Structure 1
Amino acid sequence: VSPPLTACLFVNPEGSLPKPSISISPSGVIPMGGNVTIRCQHQHLGMRFLLYKAGDGNYLTYTDPAGSEAEFPITSARREHGGSYTCRYSNRTGPAAYSEPSDPVQIIVAGEGPYPTPAAAALPTPCLTSVTAPGADVTIRCQGQRRDVRFFLYKAGDRNPQQQMDPAGDGAEFRIPTVGRQHGGIYSCSYRPQSEPFVSSEPSEPVQLVVAELSYPKASISLRPSRWVTLGGAVTIRCRSRHQNMRFLLYKDGNPNVYCCQYSIRLDPPVWSHPSDSVELLVAGEGLGSVSLLPAPPPVTPPGRLDFTNANIAHLALGATVLLVLGLILAEA
């Protein structure tokens, strides 16, 4: 009599182990060519760790660490390293058993080339100063050169973005209503193309926002010489207050030719004045941003005084050469 047949069913238990934790160091946006490490950890020993990237059908790599933590280093980060990553672990021997996948983490690579650095400015007052009173509304404007991008606003000390926005144009305005002292700090912005969400522009130049009392009257501001200056000339911007031993700050308005100033006491926390009125400085002469693109007119030479400009010196030299040649010809004749 034949022995009874025994059916054996082997099950590959996907997700039968709890998911590991995952982290990135350093976190935030990674500069092009920088190094980053993906770290996975769980509570079991003798496990194999596998690293996955979203969009790839299989795991990228694996490692068999001695302990309960695995590191996956990425050196000289490039744009293709940007993406969403997860990890999981499995036993090395016996029937295969896999953990649940970890939560995803993102690697954002900041690159140059087609993604120019944006410009940022704080708009708490008409003068565009970065000092504003508590309770005011502040707008930080981020201006890029591309459309179809997502803008991100960051505050120094926090790698997670404060706000993000998908504007219709090539700029975004981040509004911070009713600011308090906790909103003071240094801000910057960047953007990511909609078509490449894991590639970022370089961060903008930092913008410092100071939230303080505006108790002193506004300063007076003036130019010497007033308003007009020739290209290459000198000009002095004078800011005055009725108080002694103050710290003065000079600002440029949204227009590159417009200035204003503000002062404060040298204590911590400082008390600030209201911003001054704006003054406009116009530059006459050649060059980008000047009032006129025509050459500056030649200086007027008073009667009876020789004009030793470069052009006249050249004319005199040419005339002397002609006379010398004529003299030599007459002498030979």
Structure 2
Amino acid sequence: MTTFLTSLLCVALSHLVLWIPALAGVFSKPILQALPRNVVMTGNQVTFFCQGPLEAKEYRLCKEGSPDFLVPTTLIETENVAKFSISSIEWINAGQYMCEYKSPNGKREHSDYLELVVTGVHRSSVSLSALPSPVVTVGGNVTLQCVSQHPYDRFILMKEDEKFSPALPSQNIHPELFGALFTVGPVTPSQRWRFTCYGYYLSTPQAWSVPSNHLELLVSGTLHKPRIGAHPGSVIPSGSPVTIRCQAT
């Protein structure tokens, strides 16, 4: 694996826009977002949105990483938002990003860092299972086991494409099987409990494996028997209308 250096790369495309000088001379920090999300499968597209004030003169997208990897982006500026698009994500695009703009007084304002994670980089598969069962009683906990035959350094659990649990170090779950155990709960019926897990190496913490199978927990003890009824009654003359109602929680 190529070692990521602690240097800052800036992909810069300048475009002068009209601006009105701010009376106070203080400008807000730009906001950086990634769509559709900051966890992207290899080969897919991602777009960075950098939002600043109308007075911004120039936007740049910066990546912390190796000088050997210049990120190809396309910049489009509209009003106070700059869009940087990467059409086909590769593993070298994974890392920490920030954006900046130049204020009318020449000072550069920087956003907070945004982590871009690329999945599907490592092809060794991982699998996810529930112990003892994916059926969980309301308010109960369950252990989710993420394993692989490949010795990844860390495993991470995702809930509905959002980071759900801190990464856990790899351990020998069984002979020739590496993995981690995640405790989930207490579960409630008010949300969907659908998970995926990944493995990765400490040398490239934003480059993850292919996703595991999807695992959805079933919350038991939450539903009651429905009631059925007929209106105006259960005995109806031939040719007359009837309404059958099924009532549940």
Check whether TM > 0.5.
yes
Which of 42, 60, 66 pairs up with 1:32? 42
Secondary structure in 2 matching 1:80: helix
Gaps of 5+ in 1: 1-14, 214-268, 273-333
Distance 1:81 1:105, change over 3 A: same
Higher helix proportion (structure 1 or 2): 1
Give the distance between the partners of 1:59 and 1:28, measured in 2 at CA.
16
Q: Which residue of 1 aligns with 2:201?
A: 193
Supply the AA of the counterpart residue of 2:118.
V
Match of 1:141 in 2: 145
Question: Which structure is larger by alpha-carbon Rg, 1 or 2?
Answer: 1
Return 5+ residue gaps in structure 2 as ranges: 1-24, 173-177, 226-249
CA deviation after TM superposition for structure 1 residue 178, in Å: 3.8
8 Å contact from structure 2 (residues 76, 83) kept in 1: no
2:108 to 80, 99, 102: 99
Report the CA distance between 1:56 and its aligned residue.
Answer: 5.5
Matched length = 194
SS of the residue corresponding to residue 212 of structure 2 reads: coil
Measure how far apart 1:60 and its partner are: 8.1
Give the match's secondary structure for 1:65.
Answer: strand
Give 1:154's aligned residue: 158
- Counterpart-to-counterpart distance in 2, 1:108 and 1:212: 34
Between the aligned partners of 1:23 and 1:99, the Cα distance in structure 2 is: 19
Partner Cα separation in structure 2 for residue 51 and residue 61 of structure 1:
9
User: Counterpart in 1 of 2:125?
Assistant: 117
Report how far residue 46 of structure 1 moved.
5.0
Q: Is the 8 A contact 1:154 1:160 kept in 2?
A: yes
> Among 47, 51, 60, which residue is 1:41 paired with?
51
TM-score (normalised: structure 1): 0.52
CA contact (8 A) 2:194 2:217 kept: yes
Structure 2 distance, partners of 1:82, 1:69, is 23
Give the equivalent residue in structure 1 for 2:189. Answer: 181
Letter in 2 for 1:139: T
Residue of 11, 29, 33 corresponding to 1:19: 29
Task: Note if contact 1:28-1:159 (Cα within 8 Å) is conserved in structure 2.
Answer: no
Query: Structure 1 residues 49, 79: closer, same or farther in 2, change over 3 A?
Result: same
Amino acid at match of 1:88: E
Higher relative contact order (CA 8 A, sep 6+): 2
Per mean C-alpha deviation after superposition, the further-off stretch among 40-49 and 202-211 is 40-49
CA contact (8 A) 2:58 2:102 kept: yes
- The one-letter code matched in structure 2 to 1:161 is F
Letter aligned with residue 168 of structure 2? M
Q: Is the 8 A contact 1:39 1:69 kept in 2?
A: yes
Pairwise CA RMSD: 3.0
Write 1 or 2 for the structure with the bigger share of strand: 2
Q: Residue 190 of structure 1 contacts residue 201 of structure 1 at CA under 8 Å; is this kept in 2?
A: yes
Q: 1:100 to 1:62 in 2, by over 3 A?
A: farther
Amino acid in structure 1 at the alignment position of 2:98: T
